[in-house]
Amino acid sequence: MTKTDEKWVERIRQWKESGRTAEEFTLGKPYKASTLKWRAADLRRQAAGSSRYGKARASATPIRMARVVSRGRASVAVPSVGLVVEMSGARISLSRGFDAELLADVVRVLAAQVTR
């Protein structure tokens, strides 16, 4: 954990113990309520095994197969898809702005199915 993370852990602890809303707690502080809430959510994600920006942390379970096919080479024409991911017999079509956390969750579930 970085020193910045440690600082935010302490701020979040103080906020939770105060019993106040984020908006009330941050009055007069050098940071906004939205930043406090985002940091709390981000630290929860890190503790759960994924990091900022939806990138999954390294897993003890390796993924056996993951093939990425660009839009121009996909075997089935899917309109307005930026990327097609085929894994464990599943085809996932992604477009710009997709939910990276959701994709990471789906990949973990598919990987678990392969290892069973």
CA distance 98 to 46: 20
pLDDT in tens, 63-104: 555 556 555 544 444 455 567 777 767 777 777 777 788 888
Q: What is the pTM of this model?
A: 0.44
**Tokens 């990091």, residue?**
51
CA distance 24 to 7: 19
Residues with Cβ < 8 Å from 79, sequence gap 6 or more?
Answer: none
Judge whether 65 and 114 are in contact, CB under 8 Å: yes
Judge whether 85 and 67 are in contact, CB under 8 Å: yes
Where in the chain are the domains? 3-48, 67-115
